[in-house]
Amino acid sequence: MLARRALRWAARRGGQRPPVRGLRGSPRVRSAMPSWVIDRYGRNEVLRFTRDMVFPVIHYPNEVIVKVHAASLNPIDLNMRSGYGATALNMKRDPLKIKSMDTEFPLTLGRDVSGVIMECGLSVSYFKPGDEVWAAIPPWKQGTLSEFVVASANEVSFKPKCLSHVEAASLPYVGLTAWSAINKVGGLNQSNCSGKRVLILGASGGVGTFAVQLVKAWGAHVTAVCSHDAGTLMKKLGADDVIDYKAGNLEQQLKTLPSFDFILDNVGGSTEKWALDLLKKWSGATYVTLVTPFLINVDKLGVADGMLQTGVTIGSKTVKHLLKGVHYRWAFFMPSGPSLDEIAQLVDSGKGEHGCGYVCICTSPGTDDQESCM
């Protein structure tokens, strides 16, 4: 597995196919393209359709331009539409003000894309024009609600063969977020997850439905917390125990179960005040939350003070819980083509009880009749 991953990294950096001089792909004859953009933050009325969005340009040799066949929306797009994270994301967009941007507008939302490579930068040898790919574009870049989008080749991966573009576009952002929380931050993987007791809070959402299937595919015993409506779906996705958080006191319901090795918190709020006590003590058990105040702190306090406040908060919580015998971590979405390669393999592997793979695409999680399992 590691060797294959290393090979992919090498290939993405130009190790496999000979380097190409100049841009490769269809000659471009247009300078504008259709997009959904916003020109200010607000509610849905700020969304504007335009046919005159500037065509994306390859600025760095490792970038590709993808023709978007399908895109999808996540809660972060709604939040970004309202201005969430604007301070930190703008700093990341243009840290040295080299593009002399006065404003981030017009801003294109949408993180997920499934489409076809149209152009490759000079150093891209892993992909070629015409390849079918999927990706999650980081929030400091222009989004995917456009005809074309530019991405780093390291953010892009070959689309799973068994999914259509529309199906594939529902997965990358939630898949990579769950992968980051469970694998990169939480340290679980195919070889160490078997038999572990995993609790997923907020299991019926985009991230949660992916997380349930991932740890189940790796052999964990999965307890899913969701509302009653999603119970049947959770069972179909492989959850061993399903707990309805609306049926009485959740903390008391969970305390009747044996302790957990790993908790993924997709809910936040006051949950962590009691949920860490559900972990096994002094055995390396880990609590990972995806609901963090990082961007809110930076928006409220500015970059320096916001990051300082964030550092103090995470540092003190980590130490406090370590002294009680458990690990406490924050996780974030991480764009990654190589991680998407591994997710694509799971999707295409065809081992799950749903036919083609472990990963079952829920077009609108939470209701059984909208489930579509590829």
Q: Which of 214, 111, 108, 116 is nearest to 165 (CA)?
A: 116
Q: Which of 191, 137, 149 is nearest to 340 (CA)?
A: 137
Q: Does 366 bind ligand NDP (CB under 6 A)?
A: yes
Binding residue for ligand NDP, selected from 80, 163, 226, 233, defined by CB under 6 A:
226
Of all residues in this chain, which one has the CB nearest to ligand NDP in the complex? 205
Q: By C-beta, is 47 or 296 nearer to ligand NDP?
A: 296
Q: Does 16 bind ligand NDP (CB under 6 A)?
A: no
DSSP codes of every residue in 61-97: TTEEEEEEEEEE--HHHHHHHTTTTHHHHHHHHSTT-
Contact 77, 143 (CB under 8 A): yes
Q: By C-beta, is 204 or 310 nearer to ligand NDP?
A: 204
Binding residue for ligand NDP, selected from 333, 336, 339, 356, defined by CB under 6 A:
333
Measured distance CA(221)–CA(218) in Å, rounded: 10
Q: Does 113 bind ligand NDP (CB under 6 A)?
A: no
Residue 43: which residues within 8 A CB-CB, separation 6 or more?
81, 82
Binding residue for ligand NDP, selected from 230, 234, 360, 362, defined by CB under 6 A:
230
Binding residue for ligand NDP, selected from 50, 164, 190, 292, defined by CB under 6 A:
292
What are the structure tokens assigned to 201, written together?
């809070």
Peptide bond into 106 cis (omega under 30): yes
What's the closest the beta carbon of residue 173 comes to ligand NDP, in angstroms? 7
Is 91 strand, coil or helix? helix
Binding residue for ligand NDP, selected from 49, 60, 105, 332, defined by CB under 6 A:
332
Q: By C-beta, is 194 or 364 nearer to ligand NDP?
A: 364
Q: Does 205 bind ligand NDP (CB under 6 A)?
A: yes
Interface residues toward ligand NDP, by CB under 6 A: 74-76, 174, 177, 201-202, 204-208, 225-227, 229-230, 245, 266-268, 290-292, 332-333, 365-366
